[in-house]
Amino acid sequence: MIIRRQKSQIEKWLLKMPLMISCRDFENFIIQYLEDELPWNKRFIINTHLKVCKECRDYLDAYRLSMAATKGALAQEELPEVPEDLVKAILAATQNGKND
Amino acid sequence: MGVIKLIDTYVKYGSPVDDQINIVADLIAGKKGAFEGIIRQYGARLLLKATQMLGNAPDAEECVQECYLQVHRNISSFRGEANLYSWMYRILVNACLKKMKARAVNNSTSIESLLPDFDENNCRIEPNWPSIPSAEEILRRNHTKRQVLAAIHSLPDSYRDILYLRDIEGYNTAEVAQMFSLSEGAIKVRLHRARSALKKILEPVFLEGLEQ
Ligand SMILES: [Zn+2]
């Protein structure tokens, strides 16, 4: 397994090749990538980076996972009991509104 | 056959659209019990949404009350092109955003410290993920659901609410931009930062139990 430090050196060298971008460049394109707003050539460059970079692949997968987990956790929340005081307060306030 | 059955049901019980028209007519006429009816019917759902947006019960209850007062005041302007609940929900969202802007800025977490890290070669610094579990797997684990909910509430207010409205409630970027009086570009940047921060907060939770 290549340790991150060595990988970073390799990436620095890879950046000299055409179509190669750094992880930081990848980060700057990511919103447009996820929103499907990139032209095909930029999309190709991003996909190429994802193929060679495990860190960005893992990052994107974990990013999507945290979105899915958040959505799931919020959807599973149980409906709260509406406090009777709140119901009374709302009804009282609307009665006041009528008398105005 | 299905259609006949459906018509039959409508004749017997009234269609959902008829129900809504009746409810709205009763509300406009100020029929006794009608207003309490919509508090009992939608109150819990609205309270849950407000709590998820604002992160605490007192603020959420205040906004639900404000929402109902506005519904009471403006029911005659309800056009019926939207569903009654969606119309009320939109009023609630506006009340929550107003509340959020008015209260002290939640600066407990700075978003900058939660953005992705890079080394001097602009190479991403990412924890070692042996595998990426599925969301179902994560939520099946004990206590994880609570940790995920706590994570979303630890985000700074405006970031959390942009994420909530776009990713959870399904508003599009243009709608959220209008609610926050920001450009669509600014909303997208904040959305990405919010998701990225959430991912970083949740990393230890997700990594727990994965074999290294
Ligand atoms: Zn990368």
Residues paired with B125 in a beta bridge? B117
Residues paired with B117 in a beta bridge? B125
Cα distances from B126 to residues A8, A10, A75, B22, B121, in angstroms, run 12, 16, 29, 57, 14
The parent domain of residue B136 ranges over 112-211
- Closest chain A residue to B34 measured between Cα atoms? A91
- The confidence score (pLDDT) of residue B8 equals 52
The one-letter amino acid code at B13 reads Y
Residue A3 lies in a domain: no
Mean pLDDT along residues B71-77: 90
How many A×B Cβ pairs under 8 Å?
159
B97 and B124 together in one domain: no
B51 and B116 together in one domain: no
B99 and B35 together in one domain: yes
In this model, does residue A1 exceed pLDDT 50?
no
B102 and B160 together in one domain: no
Please tell me which residue, B6 or B60, carries the higher pLDDT value. Answer: B60
CA of A29 to the centre of ligand 1 (A): 12
Please give the structure tokens belonging to residue B133. Answer: 């579990």
Residue A22 lies in a domain: yes
| B23 contacts: CB under 8 Å, gap ≥ 6 | B34, B37, B38, B84
Minimum mean pLDDT range among A44-48, A67-71, B16-20, B28-32? B16-20
CA of A27 to the centre of ligand 1 (A): 8
Please give the structure tokens belonging to residue B64. Answer: 């639900």
Minimum mean pLDDT range among B72-86, B104-118, B119-133, B186-200? B104-118
- The confidence score (pLDDT) of residue A99 equals 44
Residue A43 lies in a domain: yes
What is the enclosing helix (H) or strand (E) of A22?
none
Q: Are A55 and A23 in contact (CB under 8 A)?
A: yes
Q: How many domains, in total, are found in chain B?
A: 2
- The confidence score (pLDDT) of residue B1 equals 44
pLDDT band at A2 (very low <50, low <70, confident <90, very high): low
Phi and psi at residue B210, in whole multiples of 5°? -90, 140
The parent domain of residue A15 ranges over 9-99
- Residue B173, domain CATH: 1.10.10.10
In this model, does residue B11 exceed pLDDT 90?
no
* Interface with A, mutate which of B63, B75, B118, B122 (most A CBs under 10 A): B122
Residue-wise pLDDT for A20-31, tens only, equals 899 999 999 999
Residue A13 lies in a domain: yes
* Residue where a domain terminates, one of B106, B138, B157: B106
- Closest chain A residue to B120 measured between Cα atoms? A8
CB contact under 8 A, A73 and B145: yes
Give B68's contacts in chain A (Cβ within 8 Å). 90, 94
Q: How many domains, in total, are found in chain A?
A: 1
Residue-wise pLDDT for B140-153, tens only, equals 987 888 999 999 98
CB contact under 8 A, B36 and A23: no
Mean pLDDT along residues A10-37: 83
d(CA B207, CA B128): 9
Residue A58 lies in a domain: yes
Minimum mean pLDDT range among A47-61, A83-97, B3-17, B168-182? B3-17
B167 and B73 together in one domain: no
- Residue B27, domain CATH: 1.10.1740.10
Q: Are A6 and B123 in contact (CB under 8 A)?
A: no
In this model, does residue A64 exceed pLDDT 90?
yes
Residue A37 lies in a domain: yes
* Residue where a domain terminates, one of B106, B125, B160: B106
* Residue where a domain terminates, one of B106, B122, B153: B106
B79 and B144 together in one domain: no
- The confidence score (pLDDT) of residue B18 equals 64
- The confidence score (pLDDT) of residue A98 equals 52
B73 and B18 together in one domain: yes
Q: Is 0.90 topped by the overall pTM?
A: no
Residue-wise pLDDT for B151-161, tens only, equals 998 898 889 99
- The confidence score (pLDDT) of residue A95 equals 83
CB contact under 8 A, B202 and A97: no
- The confidence score (pLDDT) of residue A15 equals 65
B31 and B76 together in one domain: yes
